[in-house]
Amino acid sequence: MPRKARLDAEGAIHHVIVRGIEQRRIFDDDGDRRHFISRLATVAVETQTTVYAWALLPNHAHALIRSGPLGISKFMRRLLTGYAVYYNRRHDRQGYLFQNRYKSILCEEEAYFRELIRYIHLNPLRAGLVDDMTALSSYPWCGHAFIVNGSEYPWHDVSFVLSRFGEKGGEARRQYREFLERGIREETAGGKKRKWKSDWSLLEWLRSIGRADDLEETSGDNRVLGGEGFVRGLPSRGHRPTEPAARSPEERVRERCEEAGISMLELASGSRRASVTEVRVRLVFELLNHPGMTLTNLARLVGVTRTGVYKILERKAGA
């Protein structure tokens, strides 16, 4: 069965989850985590994507983001491709790092924003990476610490998150902390403490603490977290296609070659002439996001090997 197209529009809220292939680690140490955050910062600023919540775990990561003008697909592709190139180079490995494509869920903001913040920021506690809320407040690989301690990355909009809990900073932080702590108390209500599981879905979490009944019945579309009214309103919000469909990859190659005054034959021949190399690099990053594009097909289109494509991406990642 073909995969459904992603739903997106500028300003849309998404819960994004990325997992390691075969449940393997995607972060081996703090060096990996620092690089991922550094790359996240760069790509978020460049694509005008805002992050509200995030958590890094050994074999997966969560984030709550708002799409910028370029859309979620371009943001995630740049983030994950660059990180995978770095990780494979640093750990002397080859092959895919992430399990299939990342998962993104378009979320109804008013109904779910606070719940998503809580769900994502409690993940390190569920996974046993920290013992309690005090430890979570100093855990550097989760957005929670930055909210309670008053610090803020340019790409992590702590101020907006706090605005959902109160008008003044101190009071908003207190309400935020109590909101997270209440979730833990509700989880352990009745003396029956369930085993923490880091891979719960948000709806499973809400059902476990008796909160699901407070919200409108959700749509049956697993790409969307929202009620039927929200889903019916999606067309008017303007879905962003995953990539422009008007031109095929071959047409894009032809267009760029004509603009640069070179022939498609010279590009395909692997020529290293400066003007040809410039077009090749440009096409790699333009076509990387095209639906269904593989590295093998991309290499064929621009006249290099798969290794050549990796080297182009690697140079960009190290820039």
* Domain definitions of the chain by residue range: 13-237, 249-317
Residue type, 159: S
Tell me, what's the pLDDT at 5? 62
Between β-strands 103-107 and 224-225, what pairing exists: parallel, antiparallel or unpaired? Answer: parallel
Residue whose token pair is 């182009």:
312
Using the predicted structure, report yes or no on whether residue 199 has a pLDDT greater than 70.
no
In the predicted structure, residue 233 carries a pLDDT above the cut 50: yes
**Distinct helix (H) and strand (E) counts, the chain:** 16, 5
- Whole-Å CA distances, 220 to 18, 57, 84, 96, 225: 22, 28, 33, 31, 9
Question: For 294-318, what is each residue's pLDDT tens digit?
Answer: 777 888 889 888 778 878 877 755 5
CATH code reported for the domain at 13-237: 3.30.70.1290
Considering only CA atoms, which of 20, 19, 13, 71 is closest in space to residue 43? 71
Considering only residues 139 and 250, tell me which one the structure prediction assigns the higher pLDDT.
139
| Number of residues that this document lists for the chain | 319
Give the residue-averaged pLDDT of 32-50. Answer: 92
pLDDT in the model for residue 102: 84
Whole-number pLDDT of residue 208: 60
State the Cα torsion 68-74-75-76 to the nearest 10°: 140
What digits encode the pLDDT tens for the residues 174-184? 999 999 998 88
Please state, for a pLDDT cut of 90, what percent of the chain lies above it. Answer: 35
pTM: 0.69
Q: How far apart are the first and last CA of the chain?
A: 39
Share of the chain above pLDDT 70, in %: 76
pLDDT value, residue 97:
93
Judge contact between 16 and 62, C-beta under 8 A. yes
**Per-residue pLDDT for 2 more than 70?**
no
Across 130-154, average pLDDT: 89
Q: H-helix or E-strand containing 5?
A: none
Task: Kindly tell me if the per-residue pLDDT of 79 is higher than 60.
Answer: yes
Q: Does residue 5 contact residue 241 with C-beta atoms inside 8 Å?
A: yes
- Mean pLDDT score of the chain, rounded to an integer? 81
Q: What are phi and psi of 185, to 5 degrees?
A: -60, -40
In this predicted structure, the answer to whether residue 140 has a pLDDT above a threshold of 60 is: yes
Mean pLDDT on 264-278:
86
